Chain A
């Protein structure tokens, strides 16, 4: 069974923010919420790297682990989704998420932030597929249309990959072999040191 994953090729990302714009437009994301954002490190210096970040649809997701009302669920495609009908806007998931993915429409304290909003891998929510109610709460359901998240499909440099984890990993490995100088992935040396090369 396919496992949905995002993979950002930091060597190709040019920080154009098209993924951010595409996501906001496709899902009619409310003001103040960015389901996806581009993070740049060493901006303007040698070795500058940009990476497009959103919900990474974790296996054993920490957001789901801390939710006091258990509003999260995982689909067969391994996409982490949540029910806005159950969400109480407590903010625990925001603190638990290592990627800062959960966002809230309002600024406030416990419960007054509004319902949590995050990337759905363009897979909608618990409402009926492609229904107006689903779009209003969660945005579009491109997966049900036989498509992939628009952020990845819009990427002009083909930096952001989305889809079946095995297939996009294979695509990325082929790129790395062609480049011939190692992964180039952001955080690679931190994680695997200089000794591990691919």
Chain B
């Protein structure tokens, strides 16, 4: 009976050893040199292009606001 318990305990320890080793390996794989830095939003020319133009519609707005 006690022999069986000891075997179970050893199995459990073995399992924990494997898990801890796996964890260490996972931590090593995300070492600082490997991490990709977060990139700030870099809008392209299309997003930031000028959309305003002095159309007839806009000119009418300026004219009617002048009085």
Q: Is B5 an interface residue (CB 8 A)?
A: no
Q: Which of A77, A126, A147, A163 contacts B62 (CB 8 A)?
A: A163
Please tell me if the beta carbons of B65 and A143 are within 8 angstroms of each other in the complex: no
Q: Which of B41, B62, B64 contacts A83 (CB 8 A)?
A: B41
Please tell me if the beta carbons of B41 and A69 are within 8 angstroms of each other in the complex: yes
With A148-B61, A152-B61, A158-B64 already in contact, the answer to whether A86 and B51 are too (CB < 8 A) is no
**Smallest CB separation, A85 vs chain B (Å):** 9
Complex-state Cα separation, A123 to B48, whole angstroms: 10
Which bracket fits the contact residues of A? 20 to 34
Complex-state Cα separation, A74 to B50, whole angstroms: 10
By the criterion of a CB under 8 Å from any partner CB, how many residues of chain B are at the interface? 20
Please tell me if the beta carbons of B66 and A171 are within 8 angstroms of each other in the complex: yes
Q: Is B30 an interface residue (CB 8 A)?
A: no
Please tell me if the beta carbons of B51 and A143 are within 8 angstroms of each other in the complex: yes
Q: Is B2 an interface residue (CB 8 A)?
A: no
Q: Residue of A at shortest CB range from B43?
A: A73
Q: Is A76 an interface residue (CB 8 A)?
A: yes
Please tell me if the beta carbons of A158 and B51 are within 8 angstroms of each other in the complex: no
Of residues 130 through 148 on chain A, the ones whose CB sits less than 8 Å from some CB of chain B are 141, 143-144, 146-148
Q: Is A70 an interface residue (CB 8 A)?
A: yes
Please tell me if the beta carbons of A75 and B48 are within 8 angstroms of each other in the complex: yes
**Smallest CB separation, B55 vs chain A (Å):** 3
Please tell me if the beta carbons of A167 and B62 are within 8 angstroms of each other in the complex: yes
What A residues does B40 contact at CB under 8 A? Answer: 69-70
Q: Residue of B at shortest CB range from A2?
A: B52
Complex-state Cα separation, A171 to B63, whole angstroms: 9
Please tell me if the beta carbons of A75 and B57 are within 8 angstroms of each other in the complex: no
Please tell me if the beta carbons of B50 and A1 are within 8 angstroms of each other in the complex: yes
What B residues does A147 contact at CB under 8 A? Answer: 55, 57-58
The 6 closest A-B pairs by CB, nearest first: A146-B55, A70-B40, A143-B51, A76-B50, A73-B43, A126-B47
A residues contacting B by CB (< 8 A) are: 1-2, 4, 69-77, 81, 83, 86, 123, 126, 129, 141, 143-144, 146-148, 152-153, 158, 161, 163-164, 167-168, 171, 174
B residues contacting A by CB (< 8 A) are: 38, 40-41, 43, 47-55, 57-58, 61-62, 64-66
Residue contacts A-B, CB under 8 angstroms, 25 given: A2-B52, A70-B40, A70-B41, A72-B41, A74-B48, A76-B49, A77-B50, A77-B51, A83-B41, A83-B43, A126-B47, A141-B51, A146-B55, A146-B58, A147-B55, A148-B57, A148-B58, A148-B61, A152-B61, A161-B65, A163-B62, A164-B54, A167-B62, A168-B62, A171-B66
